[in-house]
Structure 1
C-alpha cells in the first residue's frame, strides 16, 4: 500500500493493475528481502502478480537466505565491477567516450542561496564514494582508487549570461559543451558541476557524470539528496540523510564472489541455450554502408504518444496480462522484424540491477543489459506475440544476475569492430520517479536539455510515461541513418 500510495490493497488485486510497474516491483522486492532476509528474484512479481499468488510462491519456493554485503578494507586493491570493467575498456576507444556521459540539469528560479548549494553538493560527494572514484592500471588490470573527500578540491565552474543578447541559445550551448566535455578516468573527478546565470532570476545547475560511476537511477538519487540537503541548510538543520551501510566498492567485491559457483553456472547455462544460434547482426536497411569501425556518432528524434493512445495501450496490456513495457517492447520487436525481414531477433534492454536492499540508496554503475531474443515465426496474433514477449522477458529477469560482460565471455560471439556483440538495437523503458521535492524559496525543474550527439547502438528506443502520456525518442547512429529516415 505504501509503494502504490493506496489506502487498501486486496489479496486478489493485481499489482500491475493497481499502478505497479518495474521500478516499484524492484523496490517491493528490496523491501521484502530486507524484512524477510530471503533472496527473491524480481521476476516472481511478474509471474505471481496478485498478493495471494505472490505470498504463496514465497512459501512454496525454497528461497536461499540473503547474505549481507559487507564493507571491505579500503587499503586493499579494489577491483572494478563487471560493468565497470567493460566500460573501462570501451572508454579506451576515443570515439566512444562521450557516449557514456550522463548529463542532468536543474533550472532554478528565485533567490538561490549559493552557500546552501555548495554545501549540498559537497555533502553528496562526501557521502558517495563512487563520485570520488578514479581508476588506475597495475600489471594490465584496472583498479578503483577512492579519493578522500578532504583532498578532492571539487570545483564548480560558472558562466554568466545575464547580459547576453540571446541567453537561451547560449544556455543550450553551455549545456551541450558540459555534456560533451572529456573525462580523465585516471585523474578525475568523474563528476562536474557548472552554474549558468541565465538572468537575474534564473540559474541553471548542470551536472555531468561519467557512466562508470553512475546510472539513471543514481541521477535520481543525486537530485533528491541535493534538494533535501539544500533545504536542510536553509532551515539551519543537519543532514537528514541516513548513513550508508555500504558503498559501491563493497558491491564490486561482493559481486565477484557472489557470482561464483552454482549461481554463475545456472545462469550462464540459461543464456547459452537462449542465445544459441542467434543472428549476430540485425540486418536493418541503412542509408549508408556500415563503417569498418563503429563511430558512436549519433542524433535523436523525439516521439510523443497522446493520452488517448497511451490509455488504449494500457487496456491492451491489461487484457493480455502484460505490462505497458512488455506491450511496447512487442511493438518494437514487430517493427524491427518487418524492417529487417528477420523472424529471429535479439534486442537489448536495460535493467536497474538493484534487487538488493543495500543498493537502493547508492550512487554507482549498477544497471545491467539483458539481450532478449524473440522468434516471430508463424505470423503470431497479437495475443501470441504478447505471450512470447512476456515469456522471454520473465526468463531474462530470472537470470539477470549475470552481468552482460559475463554473457559475452560465456557465449563468445563473433566479434566485430563494426558493431556491438549480441545485439545492435535497444529498448529502454525509463520509469524513474517524476516527482520532486520542492526547493525552499526556489522554483525548479529538471531534465537533460541537450542534443544527442552520440549513439551507443544502431538504434535505441527510449520511452517513458508521465502524466498519462508516453514520450521519448529514437537515438540513432548517424553513420548508418539519415535524419529523414
Structure 2
C-alpha cells in the first residue's frame, strides 16, 4: 500500500472500534502483561529498547479517527513514550505487591484514547538489584496474543543487545498491517470468500441455540464482562493416556478437550445444539507472521448432538466441525 494520510481498518479492527465507540470506558479490550524479570532492568536501556520497537512496528504509533462516519487509522511518524520507573527496593515484599497493585490500578483508570495514542503503557518497578517487575498494557485494536509474544521476544533480544552495546538482530519485516487490511478488503470485494461466507451462513442459520446453564444466581440483563480463569494441571500419566486417545481417534489434543467441554455443557443443560467460540490466529500467510497487529478471529463452532451416542462419535463430529471451520 502506498503511503497516505490515513488507511482503512481491517474487519477485526472495525469490530473493536465500534464496540469501543459504544462504550469507550470499558476495559475489556486491554491486554495487560505482568512479568518478573531477572536481572533488574535499567531505565535508560529499556527506554532505548522501546523507542527501537516503536520505530520498527507501525501499530505502536498508530491512532484511530472517525472521518465521515467511517473509522480510519493514521500511522504517526513518532509518538511520545512515557516510561515510568519506580524504585521500591526499600519496601517489604508485601508493601511492594500492594504498591504495584494500587499503582497499576491508578495508571489504567483512564481508558485508552484511540484518537490520540499511544495505545500502550509501560511501567517498570525495580524490586531489588536483581529483579524487576515489568507491566505492559496494550489496546487490543493494535495487538493480539501472537503479536504480544513476538513483541516480548523482541523486547528481550533488543534490550540484551543494547546492554552489550550491540546492534539487535531481528527478522526483516517486509509487509505492513495496513497491507493486510487492504488485501483483506480486496478479497471481499472480489468475492473470493463467497464460499466461506456461504458455509457460515448455513452453519449459523436460525434458530440459534441459547445456552441455558443451571445458575444459582440471576443472570444480568447486560453483560458485565466479568469472568475468571479455571486452570487444571494434568500429571504425566494422564497426558500420555490422552495422547493415546488422540492417536487412536485421529484427533488433536485441542479437539479432544473441545469435545470434553461440549459434553460437559450437554450434561449441565441437556441441550443438543451447542455453540462454542474459539479463537484462531488468522495469519494464514508467512509474510504476516512478524507484523504487530490484530489478526485473531473468533470462530463459532456449532455442534449438534442429536445422533451422537458415545464419546467416539462425539470426537469425530467435533473433528469434522473443527476442520471445516478452520478451512472456512
TM tier, smaller: over 0.9
Aligned residue in 2 for 1:154: 81
Instruction: Determine the C-alpha separation between the residues in 2 that align with 1:221 and 1:377.
Output: 43
Q: How does 1:81-480 map to 2 (within 5 A)?
A: 81-94=10-23, 97-110=26-39, 112-149=41-78, 152-165=79-92, 166=94, 167-175=96-104, 182-399=111-328
Structure 2: stretches of 5+ with no match in the other structure: none
Answer yes or no: is the 8 Å Cα contact 2:25–2:111 preserved in 1.
no
Partner Cα distance (2:199, 2:25) in 1 = 30
Distance 2:173 2:75 in 1: 16
Report the RMSD for the aligned CA atoms in angstroms. Answer: 2.0
CA contact (8 A) 1:194 1:207 kept: yes
CA offsets, 1:315-356, max 9 Å, x none?
111111100000000000110112122101111100001111
Does the C-alpha gap of structure 1 residues 111 and 270 become closer, same or farther in structure 2, counting only changes over 3 Å? closer
Counterpart Cα distance in 2 of 1:204 and 1:363? 23
How many residue pairs match? The answer is: 326
Looking at structure 1, the residues matched to 18 and 81 of structure 2 have their Cα atoms a distance apart, in angstroms, of: 26
- Answer whether contact 1:98 1:181 (CA < 8 A) is retained: no
In the TM superposition, what is the alpha-carbon distance from 1:113 to its structure 2 partner? 3.5
Judged with a 3 Å threshold, the aligned counterparts in structure 2 of structure 1 residues 322 and 301 are, in CA distance, closer, same or farther, namely closer
Residues in 2 aligned to 1:388 and 1:145: alpha-carbon distance in whole angstroms: 45
Does 1:78 find its partner at 2:2?
no
Contact 1:330 1:386 in 2 (8 A): yes
Q: Distance in 2 between matches of 1:156 and 1:370?
A: 37
Please list every run of at least 4 consecutive aligned residues from structure 1 whose deviation after the TM superposition is greater than 6 angstroms. none
Q: Which has the higher helix share?
A: 2
> In structure 1, how many angstroms separate the alpha carbons of the residues matched to 2:211 and 2:108?
30
The answer to whether the 8 Å contact 2:39/2:130 transfers is: yes
Give the SS at the match of 2:189: coil
CA gap 1:235/1:158 in 2 versus in 1, 3 angstroms: closer
Q: How many Å apart are 1:170 and its aligned residue?
A: 3.0
Map Cα deviations across residues 74-126 of structure 1 (whole Å, 9 max, x no partner).
Answer: 32431111000011111124387211111113312235343322221111111
After superposition, the C-alpha distances for 1:405-424 in whole angstroms (9 at most, x for unaligned) are xxxxxxxxxxxxxxxxxxxx
For 2:186 and 2:319, locate their aligned partners in 1 and report how far apart those are by CA, in whole Å.
31
Secondary structure of the 1:392 match is helix
Partners of 1:225 and 1:397 in 2: CA distance: 29
Q: In 1, distance between residues paired with 2:70 and 2:110? A: 26
Alignment partners' CA distance in 1, 2:131 and 2:201: 54
Moved more, 246-255 or 362-371: 246-255
Aligned equivalents of 1:237, 1:109: Cα separation in 2:
20
